[in-house]
């Protein structure tokens, strides 16, 4: 019998790549989609990967415990991947209550639904390196203390501990993946990598003349979403439930990432990149650098795609999109 998986956040970057991975392994995939008047737009990423028709889509919102419980009861999944969140750090200062509800309390809703309706199902929670915030150790591992620096990170911390608590309290197979930044051609345009690759494509095609950014000194440990969804799946196949850092173990500044993107089309960023105070944050996470030793040792997970390969792939995809449009 095919395994059944439920994915919340299926319309997002990771939801699309995870669906693709699970379908390739023969899973029946049910994706939870927020109802929208623009349904066609919501499933754009699944369409981009050519799998829109292969994922069973059901309406649901993480804030609606009754609806989420019904989905879990109807599907009786073997695995549940909770990827839904208000995921953009900067927005979390403008919408702190909503972010707390969706990114924090929403995790409790889905954990409750699984506990009550499918307690044997394996559960994955999308935790974040943003929880380390003001870093307490140079390389952040599962043992590094957290110090969140945004409402998003505070909410993620709640979801993380709730996942640990449901594992310890109810014996649920609940894993928390502490994923460092991961990107792809399907990344939202508001995140810095995609903002840069889309602008580079626009500048190369003479559709745009400049790129306005905030703090380019910040450093991130960037990997590819395709590699990272593999780690999510591996966590749920392991014999015991646990928490894992998923990262490349290399950190790069925004400024250096920009150079890679511009160099790919033979342009000099100095001529185009401008600083704009609008894109600075009330509190910054200056540097993140993950230590993925545990995921490597216990799960046998390794990232395959370098930051440079990923950024070039993203620039090429944005060039193609802009030419098409």
Give yes or no for a contact between 268 and 210, defined as CB atoms under 8 angstroms apart: no
**Total residues in contact with ligand GDP, by rule CB under 6 A:** 18
CA 317 to chain centre: 19
- Paired with 177 in beta bridges are 126, 244
Q: Which of 45, 122, 160, 220 binds ligand GDP (CB under 6 A)?
A: 220
Quick one: which of 181, 193, 197, 248 contacts ligand NDP (CB under 6 A)? 181
Q: Note whether 61 binds ligand NDP by CB under 6 A.
A: yes
Q: Which residue is nearest to ligand GDP (CB)?
A: 218
Report in angstroms the alpha-carbon separations of 21 from 73, 122, 248, 305. Answer: 24, 17, 20, 16
Q: How far is the CB of 244 from ligand GDP (least distance, A)?
A: 19
Would you count residue 204 as binding ligand GDP (CB under 6 A)?
Answer: no
DSSP codes, 153-221: HHHHHHHHHHHHHHHHHH---EEEEEEPPEE-TTS-TTSHHHHHHHHHHHHHTTS---EEES-TT-EE-
Site residues (CB under 6 A) for ligand GDP, limited to 265-284: 279, 281, 284
Q: Which residues contact 57 (CB under 8 A, 6 or more apart)?
A: 10, 30, 31, 33, 43
Other Cβ atoms within 10 Å of 35 Cβ, number: 9
Which range of residues in 9-17, 50-58, 141-149, 277-285 is near ligand NDP by CB under 6 A?
Answer: 9-17
* Sole binder of ligand NDP in the list 5, 11, 132, 258 (CB under 6 A): 11
- Give the interface with ligand GDP as residue ranges (CB under 6 A): 89, 130, 181, 190-192, 195, 213-216, 218, 220, 254, 279, 281, 284-285
- Give the interface with ligand NDP as residue ranges (CB under 6 A): 8-9, 11-15, 32, 34, 42, 61-63, 83-87, 102, 126, 128, 179, 181-182, 188
């Amino acid at each position: 019998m095919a395994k059944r998986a439920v994915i919340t956040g299926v319309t997002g970057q990771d939801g699309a790549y995870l669906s693709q991975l699970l379908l390739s392994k023969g899973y029946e995939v049910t994706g939870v989609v927020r109802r929208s008047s623009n349904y066609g737009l919501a499933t754009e990423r699944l369409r981009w990967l050519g799998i829109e028709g292969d994922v069973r889509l059901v309406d649901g919102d993480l804030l609606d415990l009754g609806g989420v419980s019904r989905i879990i009861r109807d599907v009786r999944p073997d695995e549940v991947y909770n990827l839904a969140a208000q995921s953009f750090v900067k927005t979390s200062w403008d919408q702190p209550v909503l972010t707390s509800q969706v990114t924090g309390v929403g995790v409790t809703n889905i954990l409750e639904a699984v506990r009550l309706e499918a307690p044997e199902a394996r559960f994955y929670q999308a935790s974040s390196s943003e929880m380390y915030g003001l870093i307490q150790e140079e390389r952040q591992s599962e043992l590094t203390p957290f110090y969140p620096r945004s409402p998003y990170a505070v909410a993620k911390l709640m979801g993380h501990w709730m996942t640990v608590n449901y594992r310890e309290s109810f014996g649920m197979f609940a894993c928390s993946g502490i994923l460092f930044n991961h990107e792809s051609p399907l990344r939202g345009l508001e995140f810095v990598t995609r903002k840069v690759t889309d602008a580079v494509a626009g500048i190369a095609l003479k559709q745009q003349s400049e790129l306005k950014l905030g703090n380019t000194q910040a450093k991130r440990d960037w990997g590819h979403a395709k590699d990272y969804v593999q780690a999510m799946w591996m966590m749920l196949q392991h014999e015991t439930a646990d928490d894992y850092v998923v990262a490349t173990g290399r950190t790069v500044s925004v400024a250096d990432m920009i150079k890679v993107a511009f160099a790919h089309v033979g342009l000099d960023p100095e001529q185009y990149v401008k600083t704009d105070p609008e894109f600075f944050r009330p509190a910054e996470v200056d540097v993140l650098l993950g230590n993925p030793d545990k995921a490597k040792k216990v799960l046998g997970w390794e990232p395959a795609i370098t930051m440079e390969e990923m950024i070039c792939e993203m620039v090429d995809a944005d060039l193609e999109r802009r030419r098409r449009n």
